[in-house]
């Protein structure tokens, strides 16, 4: 198991993960995510969510799902029309290509239905382990650890894993998180990463799990910001000299 001894003052990862989950649970009782009806819509929405916020995807999908209702509809669609409908999601050309190719596979190999197992899902265009685990967990009630950039970052900061490879992070978390909480724990880390444990400037002073966190890498972020000349509030320090040559510093507006 990947269980770094992040700090001698804290228990090992296996002993901290349940208290961490218990404290985050009331803050994020329901994962704020994508709107969908059924496995197919979830699959399409997750593909669209790459490099795009869930809020933006939720603005795009009503018109998209009103126009295309089945896997065959997507498989036989005009690619230009599909691109236009999803344009606001970013990288729309590659996403449209993946969506149509994915649905062609669904029609040809799975009777137009989204398969309910990981091995089949990851063979579909545009579907990796993260997407597959999201679909399995939310559409088929099959537990899985979903690892996006937030989950990976928080897992390392919390000392739950040293790995950077998403698959290795997934497997490491699966060893220490109770299986019944796999999906929920992933969702809570995602929301906590969006709202509190930010990538460049984590809000440790507002964090309910700060005493359970070794803050791996956080000091390095602070030092990096200091070297670049930023105040603790995030504003850049402007250095100058007075008329008599005295050095002064002030925070930019």
Q: List residues with catalytic annotation.
A: 130, 148
Q: Which two tokens stand for residue 83?
A: 């691109």
d(CA 208, CA 201): 16
By the 8 A CB rule, do 188 and 244 touch? no
List the end-to-end C-alpha distance of the chain, in Å, as a whole number: 48
DSSP bridge partners of 230: 236
Range 64-69 contact pairs with CB under 8 angstroms and sequence separation of 24 or more: 65/37, 65/41
By the 8 A CB rule, do 3 and 162 touch? no
d(CA 230, CA 118): 45
94-69-113 Cα angle (round to 5): 80
Q: How far is CA 186 from the centre of its chain?
A: 8
């Amino acid at each position: 198991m990947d269980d770094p001894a992040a700090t001698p003052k804290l228990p090992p990862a296996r002993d901290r993960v349940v208290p961490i989950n218990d404290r985050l649970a009331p803050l994020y009782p329901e994962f704020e995510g994508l709107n969908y009806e059924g496995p197919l819509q979830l699959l399409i929405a997750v593909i669209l969510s790459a490099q795009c916020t869930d809020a933006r995807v939720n603005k795009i999908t009503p018109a998209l799902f009103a126009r295309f209702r089945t896997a065959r509809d997507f498989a036989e669609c005009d690619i230009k029309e599909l691109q236009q409908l999803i344009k606001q999601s970013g990288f729309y050309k590659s996403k449209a290509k993946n969506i149509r190719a994915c649905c062609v596979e669904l029609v040809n190999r799975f009777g137009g239905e989204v398969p309910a197992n990981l091995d089949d899902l990851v063979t579909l265009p545009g579907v990796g382990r993260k997407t597959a685990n999201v679909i399995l967990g939310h559409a088929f009630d099959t537990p899985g650890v979903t690892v996006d950039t937030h989950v990976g970052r928080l897992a390392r900061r919390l000392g739950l894993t040293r790995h950077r490879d998403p698959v290795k992070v997934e497997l490491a978390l699966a060893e220490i998180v109770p299986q019944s909480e796999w999906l929920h724990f992933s969702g809570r880390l995602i929301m906590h990463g969006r709202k509190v444990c930010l990538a460049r400037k984590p809000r440790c002073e507002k964090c309910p799990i700060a005493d359970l966190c070794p803050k791996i890498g956080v000091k390095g972020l602070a030092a990096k910001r200091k070297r670049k000349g930023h105040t603790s509030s995030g504003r850049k320090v402007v250095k100058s000299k007075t008329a008599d040559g005295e050095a002064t510093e002030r925070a930019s507006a």
